[in-house]
Homo-oligomer: A and B are copies of this chain.
Amino acid sequence: MTARTRRPARPVPTDELGQLLFDVFAQDCPSRHALENVTGRWGLLALVALRDGTARFNALRRRVDGVSEKMLAQTLRTLERDGFIHRAAQPTIPPRVDYTLTPLGRETADQLFALIQQIEGRMPAVLLAQSQYDER
């Protein structure tokens, strides 16, 4: 990844007490990256799918309609790295890997689920707005 140069990169901001601030509006702030992983196209669906309990790789792949092996593997690795999911690989043949939410992951997945519920419930309004916008 190359550095962006549009603006002089801010240092990670600290407040008067010298504590780290995680301002998601600031470019390159760690919270922005974490948030993007979690709200990203596949991260969001994977986390919410895991609210139902442990799942194996191919089960997740079937649940999250349209994800490729590559992207699911990549997504799960990032979520594991950030501490949202736990990966348990049995050294058997054939291999078996179980993915589960960590406590942090569950908190986040619950937030995401609330968001999804809200959007799904309001879809009629969204579709209406779209058709009104389009006839012009």
The residues of A with any CB-CB pair to B shorter than 8 Å are 4, 6-7, 10, 20, 22, 24-27, 30-31, 34-36, 38-41, 44-45, 48-49, 63-66, 68, 80-83, 104, 107-108, 111-112, 114-116, 118-120, 122-123, 125-130, 133-134
Number of copies: 2
Are B123 and A30 within 8 A (Cβ)?
A: yes
Residues on B with beta carbons closer than 8 Å to the beta carbon of A6: 66, 68
Are B129 and A118 within 8 A (Cβ)?
A: no
Shortest Cβ distance from A131 into B: residue: B81
- What separation, in Å, do the CA atoms of A22 and B120 have in the docked complex? 6
- What separation, in Å, do the CA atoms of A108 and B111 have in the docked complex? 12
Closest Cβ of chain B to A13, distance in Å, is 11
Residues on B with beta carbons closer than 8 Å to the beta carbon of A104: 122, 125-126, 129
Are B115 and A111 within 8 A (Cβ)?
A: yes
Are A123 and B31 within 8 A (Cβ)?
A: yes
Are A127 and B30 within 8 A (Cβ)?
A: yes
- Report if A120-B65 is in contact (Cβ < 8 Å); known contacts: A39-B39, A80-B133, A125-B104: no
User: A26 is contacted by which of B48, B65, B133 (Cβ under 8 Å)?
Assistant: B65
- Report if A34-B119 is in contact (Cβ < 8 Å); known contacts: A25-B49, A126-B83: yes
Shortest Cβ distance from A4 into B: residue: B66
